[in-house]
């Protein structure tokens, strides 16, 4: 799977571990930064990740910041992006299965590298349940909300 990954300075160390895990797992990884621990604004990185997901240059996106919250807020400002903060395995897969999440956000100050690997594996292993009319209808309503704005 083609995955685009980004982080701010707070997420930079954990992002390195996630990128290594993704590569070990056979994924094609596009790391859009940050590339060191110097301060960077998370909306700038989120915009880079989301543009690649939105333009089908990546199948899914991953964002890492201090809590995951700022990254999720920024990502959800981009039309066509459905981002969720996931700090447990159940949310990581269910957000895709029920809500067709295409960008997962992780808080580096919340989870460690081992849990982050489990979250990523769960997220990437999940698929949207298009057979459930309720899930499809709800995701369509999310798209309608974007178009009204």
Q: Give me the catalytic one of 50, 65, 86, 105.
A: 65
Q: Are 95 and 134 in contact (CB under 8 A)?
A: no
Please report the DSSP string for 97-120 in residue order.
HHH---EEEEETTT--HHHHHHHH
Say how far apart CA 87 and CA 67 lie, in whole Å.
9
65 included as an active-site residue: yes
Q: In what order do the strands lie in the sheet with 28-31?
A: 28-31, 2-7, 60-65, 103-107, 83-85
Q: Catalogue the E-assigned strands of the chain.
A: 2-7, 28-31, 60-65, 83-85, 103-107
> Catalytic annotation on 98?
yes
| Cα(61)–Cα(82) distance, integer angstroms | 10
2 strand-pairing partners? 28
The set of catalytic residues is 65, 98
């Amino acid at each position: 799977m083609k995955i685009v990954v980004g982080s701010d300075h707070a997420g930079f160390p954990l992002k390195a571990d996630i990128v290594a895990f993704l590569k070990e797992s056979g994924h094609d990884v596009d790391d859009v930064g940050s590339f060191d621990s110097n301060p960077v604004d998370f909306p700038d990185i989120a915009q880079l990740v989301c543009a690649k997901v939105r333009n089908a240059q990546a199948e899914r996106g991953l964002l890492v910041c201090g809590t995951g919250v700022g990254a999720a807020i920024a990502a959800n400002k981009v039309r066509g992006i459905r981002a969720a903060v996931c700090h447990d395995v159940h949310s990581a897969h269910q957000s895709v299965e029920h809500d067709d999440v295409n960008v997962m956000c992780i808080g580096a100050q919340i989870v460690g590298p081992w849990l982050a690997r489990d979250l990523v594996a769960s997220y990437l292993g999940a698929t949207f349940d298009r057979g459930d009319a309720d899930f499809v209808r709800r995701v369509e309503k999310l798209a309608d909300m974007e178009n009204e704005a």
